[in-house]
Amino acid sequence: MKILVVDIGGTNVKILTSGKAEPRKSPSGPKMTPQQMVSEVKELAGDWRYDVVSIGYPGLVHRGRIVAEPHNLAPQWVGFDFEAAFDCPVRLLNDAAMQALGSYRGGTLLFLGLGTGLGSALVAEGIVVPMELGHLSYKRRTYEDHVGNRGLKRLGKRKWAEHVAYAVERLIEVLYPDDVVLGGGNAKKLRKLPSGCRLGDNANAFLGGFRLWEGTDRYAPLEALAPEAEMKGAPS
C-alpha cells in the first residue's frame, strides 16, 4: 500500500509518499482553502502513485473529523470531504499528534510543539491522544500565551525559555511520561533543553503519517477505536 502524507502548515504544505526520500512543498497561507490544498497536493504529487492519504491538520480534529477552522488558513475546512476530493481513503490527525506519533519509541510519550501556540499530544502504548494543553490557565493567561510566539515576542528569549522549562516540569509532574519530545519551530531556540526532554524533528510528521495506516495493533489515533460510522464521518 502506497501512502501519501500531507503536512499542512501556515506557511507551506509538505508532502511525501512511501518509497521516496525527499518531500515536496508548496506555499500555503491565509488564502488557502481545503480545495486549493487538494489541488496543490495533486499537482505536487503528479508522478507519485498512492492508495491512501494521511493529513496532518493545524487545528482541532476529533474522531477523524475537523471540528474547528484553522487560524492561519482560509475557512471552509470543517465538513470538507477529503476522501471525495482525493478519491481514496483519508485519515486526518492534528499536526502535533502526527509528529508525536512519528517521534514515538515506546511507553508513554508527551509531545509539546513550540510554535505559533503550544501543540500537544500523548502517545500511550501506540495509541495517539491529541490534547489541547496550551489552553490551560497559567498566570492569568494560558500556557500558550507564555510559551507560544506571543510569549516569545512579549517576554524575550531568556524569560520565554524559563516559562517553557516551568511548563514542561509541571506537565511531566501531572502526566508522568516515559519520554518527552519538544518539537515545533521554536524548540531549536532553546539554548538548553529542559531535563528529561529530547529535541523533535519536523520530518517525524511524515513517519507519523505512515504509521497511521499500520493498524491499531501497533500505532493508531484514538479515533481509530471509535465506531465505524463515526470513522466515516457519519452524523452523530
DSSP annotation of 194: P
Place 154 in a pLDDT band, splitting at 50, 70 and 90: very high
Say if residue 236's pLDDT is above 90.
Answer: no
- Please give the span between the terminal C-alpha atoms of the chain, in angstroms, as a whole number: 31
37-55 residue pLDDT tens: 999 999 999 999 999 999 9
Q: Calculate what percentage of the chain has a pLDDT beyond 70.
A: 91
Alpha-carbon span 182 to 33, nearest angstrom: 29
Q: Which pLDDT belongs to residue 80?
A: 97
Same domain, 157 and 81: no
Residue 215: the pLDDT is 63
Condensed to tens digits (0 to 9), the pLDDT of residues 17-38 reads 999 999 999 999 999 999 999 9
Residue 74, domain extent: 3-97+204-231
| Residue 220 clears pLDDT 80, i.e. is over it | no
**Is residue 34 domain-resident?**
yes
Cβ atoms of 179 and 71 within 8 Å: the answer is no
Residues 77-121 pLDDT 10s: 999 999 999 999 999 999 999 999 999 999 999 999 998 889 999
pTM, 2 dp: 0.86
Give domain status of residue 134, yes or no. yes
**Does 82 reside within a domain?**
yes
Query: In sequence order, what E strands does 88-171 have?
Result: 90-94, 108-114, 118-124, 127-131, 137-138, 141-142
- Tell which residue, 85, 122, 92, has the closest CA to residue 107: 122
Residue 61's φ and ψ, nearest 5 degrees, are -120, 130
- Which CATH number does the domain housing residue 151 bear? 3.30.420.40
What are the backbone angles phi and psi of residue 199, rounded to the nearest 5°? Answer: -80, 135
Do 106 and 152 sit in the same domain of this protein?
yes
Answer yes or no: do 106 and 221 share one domain. no
- Quick one: average pLDDT of 178-199? 94
Q: What is the pLDDT of residue 214?
A: 82
| C-alpha to C-alpha distances, 206 to 43, 93, 221, nearest whole angstrom | 19, 12, 15
Residue bearing the bigger pLDDT, 83 or 225: 83
